[in-house]
Amino acid sequence: DDVDGGDGIDDSRNGNHTSTASTMTNNADGRKAENNNKKKKKKDKKRKRKSEDREDDDDASKKKKKRKSKKKERKKRRKTNESSSHVENDGDDSSNIRSCKDNNDENHFPFEYRHIVAPMVGASELAFRLLCRKYGATLSYTPMMSASQFIKEAENALKNNPDPNATIANSNICDFQTIPQDRPLAVHFSANDPDHFARAAKLVESCCDAIDLNLGCPQRTAYLGHFGSYLLGGKDRQLVLDIVRAGSRAVSIPIFV
């Protein structure tokens, strides 16, 4: 009996070993299949990304070609327009000048203003204006100058200058200088007092073609001095009208704002 019992125990142990081995084999196969699936998914994603990149490249190249064709069309149209304008003018630019003068006459300005050099503080002094005129500028502005400061400096400069031929144009008041070749010229003032603006305009009337009142400067100094764009509020509307009227009464040249 003992011997038979022993054999039964050994048989059960062998069965357990067999089932454990088969389970491990199954687990290994499952892991292998799972890894294969993951690799396959990765490959599929990579393939998909490559195809998307190719599509993007194709779209980009199509867009690039489209831009190039549009650019060529624009150039072609521009050349056609230029050639037709040359034919109309017979190679003579005088018609352009005449049309510009006619336009000026219609707007009641006694000077050409087709190409304008805007006022720039620290830039549009005499030398820069002359350089711009050399390359086609027709109307130039001086840098912005304070009307009240200009009056004070002008009075002192003319009073203390021993040269009897000294004028506003060559006295370097507020860095203002001009010569006969610097025309047409608009003198650019900041002001918040009608009398100061009128007096400053009167001082420079003989050496310029227009007076401009600054109503656009947005800097903090304009806020502190209450001039420039800070005069555009409703409460200062009457003040601005008074400044322009005073300047207009003081001089016979145009007043710009």
- DSSP state letter for 176: B
Which contacts of 113-116 are long-range, i.e. CB under 8 A and separated by 24 or more positions?
Answer: 113/138, 113/139, 113/184, 114/138, 114/139, 115/139, 116/140, 116/141
In the three-class reduction of DSSP (H, G, I as helix; E, B as strand; rest coil), residue 200 is classed as helix
Half-sphere exposure of 90 (CA within 13 A, CB side): 2
Quickly list DSSP for 81-136: HHHHHHHHHTT-THHHHHHHHHHHHHTT-SS--SSEE---TTT-SHHHHHHHHHTT
217: annotated active-site residue? yes
Quickly list DSSP for 53-67: HHHHHHHHHHHHHHH
Q: 98 is written with which tokens? A: 């005449």
Sign of CA dihedral 179, 248, 216, 153: positive
Q: 133 is written with which tokens? A: 């005129």
Sign of CA dihedral 48, 51, 57, 62: negative
Among 174, 207, 208, 217, the one annotated catalytic: 217
- The catalytic residue positions are 217
